[in-house]
Amino acid sequence: MIENRAKHTALIKAEAKRLGFMSCGISKAGFLEEEAPRLEKWLEENRHGQMQYMENHFDKRLDPTKLVEGSKSVISLLLNYYPGEIQKEGSYKISKYAYGTDYHFVIKDKLKELLHYIQSEIGEVGGRAFVDSAPVLDKAWAVKSGLGWMGKHSNVLSKKTGSFYFIAELIIDLDLDYDTPVTDHCGSCTACIDACPTQAIVEPYKVDGSKCISYFTIELKEAIPEAVKGTFDDWMFGCDVCQDVCPWNRFSTSHNEPLFQPNPKLLEYSKQDWEEITQEVFSEVFKKSAVKRTKYTGLLRNIQFLKE
């Protein structure tokens, strides 16, 4: 039985690598004891702003066995999205994760393939794939699986690859060999806290989601408050400041996922080009992009807010 566990674990990790995932770590499915009080306090302090969905399924968020019946293992996977080229200097900026095809589609296909492989190689294995679309605490599982530590900016950090990657999970009803967490290597560094334009990192390891530029430009559906005018540093969709200044991201290397390649216009456009963007061009440039989430009207609102 133990031999099987080791064999199955090695098979899964090798296939994850073949599918292009940068890392794969595995944890025993169960209640996230340390996360429970942290999440409860964060919600009580209203750090989630208008992201009401964060309040839903509290018990499932903390325990995958309530989400996937009979689950025994959480397979955490990282997929690199660090781009080879970035936007033109002095333009309005888009978070690097949204340059290419929406990651939900790209990763979901890879996860389905991985699950199919597990079922064909090992036998009858039940499970579900998760890509940031269900009440799963991705970062907590990545940390528990030894893929990195939780940085002071609340992104998962790895000594080898920094933090420019997506996190996804397969939760399955198969016992595997489990990985152990790594140590924290943030030390006394406060680069992310000092650089945050809206001071959303209220203390080390704690982000007030309702103060984050990503929240204002993506999640907030009404007018952006006047109080934060002049603090957005030209970010029109999302924000990468805390990751850009992190010393560990010096080790980021560009991805090799063709679907994450941006439309050339995204890299070439100047501020004036963005200010004159039409619905037609928006639909072309962001055809399958995560930017569609804010819609054309939302992006125009953000540009107008930066322009004034």
Residue range 66-124, pLDDT digits in tens: 888 899 999 999 999 999 999 999 999 999 999 999 999 999 999 999 999 999 999 99
In 3D space, the residue among 161, 28, 168 whose CA is nearest the CA of residue 110 turns out to be: 168
Query: Which residues touch 210 (CB under 8 Å, ≥6 apart)?
Result: 46, 47, 48, 49, 50
User: Hunting for tokens 């309530």 — which residue is that?
Assistant: 66
State which H helix or E strand residue 174 sits in: none
Taking the model in full, what pTM does it have?
Answer: 0.92
Q: Which amino acid is at 249?
A: N
Residue 10 CA to residue 3 CA, distance in Å, equals 11
The pLDDT of residue 46: 59
At a CB cut-off of 8 Å and minimum separation 6, what does 159 contact? 185, 248, 251
Concerning whether 244 is annotated as a catalytic residue, the answer is: no
Of the candidates 291, 205, 191, 206, the residue with the CA atom closest to the CA atom of residue 244: 191
- Give helix 103-122 / helix 2-18 axis angle, nearest 10°: 140
For residue 132, pLDDT over 90 is answered with no
Beta-bridge mates of residue 207: 201
d(CA 196, CA 246): 11
- Residue 67 is predicted with a pLDDT of 86
In the chain, what is the straight-line distance between the N-terminal and C-terminal CA atoms, in Å? 65
Q: What is the pLDDT of residue 52?
A: 55
Question: What does the pLDDT read at residue 136?
Answer: 81
CA distances from 56 to 171, 181, 222, 269 (A): 20, 28, 22, 39
Query: Which residue in the list 59, 63, 132, 194 is annotated as catalytic?
Result: 132
Reading phi first (left if > 0) and then psi (alpha if -120 to 50, else beta), residue 135 is in beta
213 or 1, greater pLDDT: 213
Q: Spell out the residues 6+ positions from residue 167 whose beta carbon is closer than 8 angstroms to its own.
A: 76, 77, 78, 132, 138, 139, 141, 142, 147, 156
% of the chain with per-residue pLDDT over 70: 91
pLDDT mean over 163-183: 97
CA atoms within 13 A on the CB side of 148: 30
Residues whose CB is less than 8 angstroms from the CB of residue 74 and which lie 6 or more positions away in sequence, other chains included:
26, 27, 28, 29, 64, 141, 144, 145, 169, 170, 171
